[in-house]
Chain A
Amino acid sequence: MGITIAVLTLGGAGLVCALILVVADRFFAVHEDPRIETLTALLPGVNCGACGFGGCVEYARALLAVVGATPANLCPAGGAETAHAVAAMLGIEAGATDKKVALVLCGGDSARAPRRFLYNGVADCAAAHAVGGGDKLCRHGCLGYGSCARVCPAGAVEITAGQLALVHADLCIGCGACVKTCPRKLIRMIPAGRTIHVLCNSPEKGPAVKKACQVGCIGCTLCAKLAPEAIQMNGFLAAVDYARELDNQEVVDKCPTHCIVRR
């Protein structure tokens, strides 16, 4: 008798639960285009938001909403491969993809760019920048509190021992999250594979830069004369025009402050 009651009770409970599951499955099912899942699987899945949508699934939804309306080449992390795979699946044009990587336009590590004061507070670049204008003597250089490293979905940004942000181009997926987060706006997206860079973002005049940093651009214009096509002067700051080819070792060798590097 006892065992019958137990079996009936448990069996009954099981049955009721099963019924609830059946009802839930039947009436609360969410019908979604199965292609969204397939398409999402083609995307890298880092959810960086560089495509302009709120993550990979959202991009897949947009691609499928009106096929052809959203370009297939919006994912910088996936690059050409992803664009072609997406385009092939949807039967649309892949479009051009040029891989871009982030570059920190500062080479002033703690050995070469002194600090103005001892900062004591939240270890975040925006927070440090808001206290006394940032502790680096150079008011344009990298503070090195790693805000960019924290937002990087690919772990491509390293804060070096010299308290300087360094983007590893081979790991960078080109999402641009670091560019948006840097309070000093010194991260730039550049075409991948470029090797010669001016690692300075200070628009100050030569003497001011020299005082603040050993490896800052002092605006001597030497590099712009050596490579007039690819390096332009923006006021007192030399800037590489990445639209043009630049493979001139001379500019690296002759830069008096060594702020032009090959990397």
Chain B
Amino acid sequence: MSASKPKLSPNVGVHPAYHKEATSAKPIEVMPLPPLLRVSMSQHLGKPALPVVKKGDTVLRGQVIGEAAGFVSAAVHAPTSGAVKDVAEAPTAGGIMALAVDIAPDGRDAWAPAVEENRRKRADLLARLRDDPAAARKEVVAAVADAGIAGMGGAGFPTHVKLSPPPDKPIETLIINGAECEPYLTADDRLMVERAAEIWQGALIIQAALGAKRVRVAVENNKPRAAAAMGAAVADSAGDCAVVMLETMYPQGAEKQQILAILGREVPSGGLPMDVGVVVENVGTALAVRDAVVNGRPLTERVTTVTGPCVAEPKNVLARLGTLYSDLVAFCGGFARPPCKIVSGGPMMGLAQSGLDVSTAKTTSGLVALPRELVGAFVSMPCISCGRCVEACPSGLMPCELSQMLEAEDYEAAAGCNVADCIECGCCAYVCPARRPLVQHMRRGKAWVAAQRRKP
């Protein structure tokens, strides 16, 4: 286990109040099946899955209910056994409408026969990965694709895509991301504390699939228990494997910033980690990969931290995908006081919700209910050029200048000043004394750049 403490880079990023103590010591609780599961077809980055069941069908847990629509997409599986009540549009955490399959659980929670079949089929996959990795790798990637796994840290990039780097981009290092730099969230922390061995097994499977020489587990130094648990798991492994303690700092969990901190490599602008021989996977993703390869089980549940000052009993909840936020909050004792803002994900990058009629997805790392005194309405003022955003920006941008360009809708100028390199981490808006909606401006700029690139 490495004792070094690399930093992101001096004076970059921010140190928000973390508030993790509300749930960091609470073991993961399994939530009983709710009366309804609303499984969205759009739980990942890329094209939404195509529903393959219809109203009135009965489904078994792990049965495919949505097929991946292309390579950058992911399959969706029934989170439990039951009857399909409806296939209709429902709001996603992002506020847009997407098709969702409503399932009324029958209480049996019976697995689909395909799951047992997959388990048997893959029983010797681990051994084959060791003996004949080249052939077995494809099988792992197929298993991951079958399981519908998408990055569980928040962005939700389909994992099988990450595990299929082109041949000219050899992967040297696998980073298992347990930084969890978002305030309030403890889902990854608890996973590492409680299921370190399984996570590590998943990490080794991913390593073998990628043919990576090195594995690094990144943990921020405000999670000593998780680091210790992961350290114990890693200790038995041969090869170049280590837990890396990172300075607690936001956004230490951002992929490119983490690669810089751990390996000193900088992913080129517009590039992917694989351009510098690295793949970064979240700890939850590693666990899901293990479950898919060892147990043959697709992704049907995840840990979500339900927390915030407004939640009566903050908890780390293991809930089925498709659990309505209202059920999730009810499981945590409801609201102790009326929230002013409900955030799906962490407060720095999460999505504010207009209600609790949304259901959990593969990316739902947390549900944070915040009171008025923390997130009341704000009035934005003109920029006073204090330069704090410039100092905080981990991408080296000048958010103040960019926001003024974008406010004037001068998209070309903003594109020239590299607005596309913004990672939307929110450090700029966090420190802005004028409360300018800097990230929102950046998003507009990025959307414009993306639209320009799509143009022939």
Contact = CB atoms under 8 A, between A and B. Distances in A.
Is chain B in direct contact with chain A in the complex (CB below 8 A)? yes
Contact of B443 (A116, A130, A134, A135): A130
Nearest to B448: A126
Contact of A116 (B354, B407, B440): B354
Contacts of A117: 352, 354-355
B444 A131 contact: no
B358 to A, nearest CB: 10
Interface residues of A, number: 16
A122 B441 contact: yes
Most buried by A among B91, B95, B447: B95
Contacts of A121: 437, 440
A126 to B, nearest CB: 7
Contact of A132 (B352, B407, B437, B444): B352
A135 B354 CA distance: 8
Contact of A120 (B91, B97, B377, B443): B377
B355 to A, nearest CB: 7
Contacts, number: 42
Contacts of A120: 377-378
B278 to A, nearest CB: 31
A131 B378 contact: no
Interface residues of B, number: 19
Nearest to A132: B95
Interface in B68-94: 91, 94
Contacts of A135: 354
A124 B403 CA distance: 14
Given A121-B437, A121-B440, A126-B444, A131 B95 contact: yes
Interface string B125-141: 00000000000000000
Given A122-B444, A133-B97, A135-B354, 17 more contacts: A116-B354, A122-B437, A122-B440, A126-B444, A126-B447, A127-B444, A130-B444, A130-B447, A131-B352, A131-B440, A132-B94, A132-B351, A132-B353, A133-B94, A133-B95, A133-B96, A133-B354
- What 5 A-B pairs are tightest by C-beta distance, nearest first? A133-B95, A132-B95, A117-B354, A116-B354, A121-B437
Interface of A: 116-118, 120-122, 124, 126-127, 130-135, 139
21 contacts: A116-B354, A117-B355, A118-B377, A120-B377, A120-B378, A121-B437, A122-B407, A122-B440, A122-B441, A124-B444, A126-B444, A127-B440, A127-B444, A130-B444, A131-B352, A131-B440, A132-B94, A132-B95, A132-B351, A132-B352, A133-B96
